[in-house]
Amino acid sequence: MLGTIVNTCTILVGGAFGAWVRTGIGERYKQTLFNGLGLCCLVLGANAALPNMAKSEFPVLFILSLTIGGLIGTRLRLAERVDEASQKHKGSINGLSTGILLYCIGTFSIVGPVLSCLSPSHGWAFDEPGNTFLYTNATLDLVTSAVLAATYGWIMLLAAPVLFVWQGIFYAIAYFFSAGMPEPMRVELSIVGGVLILSSGLSILGIKDCKTINLLPSLLVPVVYYLFV
């Protein structure tokens, strides 16, 4: 669990630094950061989705997940509600959702808590090998959070408790069920999550607004599917 705490703190530190220097960054430079962030989302999303597609036991599950999740999100008007909130906060809510996706989706953030829990000390030792994934993730998130906060501001700090809860869920799964999370479920979550990160990148770059928020319920479909299977 120590790895998750470290990961959460790096987001707070990086986010606070980025938000602090934001006022001294000119609009031209902010746009450059914005474009760089969009490109990073495209690369990270592709990196999360494509390698895992070859490992999928049910290759069309991610299609079903996006379809079902998209319909649920559209019915609940998630994107419209977030857009309304973003208008009040100058687009920061959309930035927060992008940050949460970047922090939470990926092998490090999903498998890391499981390995941490299954280590001899349950991940409470600084030198515990089971925390390696989370320390690596923390390093990446330190830089990412600084860039995001420099673009969107202090609201990005709210992503830290979301990450803590997200990783805490997988830690709890490993703690109570010992074997941790099924590998097929991790694969499908990575594929769907990668597609959502790609979608965010397209929106940030102004190429296509895919209403990524409406697709967020897609992440629940693989979980429900493997719970039944």
pLDDT of residue 213: 83
DSSP secondary structure of 172-191: HHHHHHSS-S-HHHHHHHHH
Q: Which residue has the tokens 């959460």?
A: 8
Is residue 168 within 8 Å of 104, Cβ to Cβ?
A: no
pLDDT of residue 49: 87
pLDDT tens digits along 189-199? 888 888 988 88
Q: Which residue has the tokens 């973003």?
A: 86
User: What predicted TM-score, i.e. pTM, was given to this entire model?
Assistant: 0.73
Q: How far apart are CA 206 and CA 199, in angstroms?
A: 11
Pick from 115-119, 131-135, 218-222 the range whose average pLDDT is largest.
218-222
pLDDT tens digits along 139-188? 888 988 888 888 888 889 999 999 999 999 888 887 877 666 678 887 88
Cβ neighbours of residue 87 closer than 8 Å, sequence gap 6 or more: none
Cβ neighbours of residue 203 closer than 8 Å, sequence gap 6 or more: 94, 209, 210, 212
Q: How far apart are CA 43 and CA 59, in angstroms?
A: 21
pLDDT of residue 91: 63
The confidence band for 109, taking pLDDT boundaries of 50, 70 and 90, is confident
Backbone phi, then psi, for 102, in 5-degree steps?
-65, -40
Q: How far apart are CA 113 and CA 4, in angstroms?
A: 7
pLDDT tens digits along 8-49? 999 999 999 988 888 767 777 777 877 887 888 888 888 888
Question: In the structure encoding, which two tokens stand for residue 97, read together?
Answer: 């959702």
The predicted model gives 117-132 an average pLDDT of 73
DSSP secondary structure of 40-57: HHHHHHHHHHHHHHTT-S
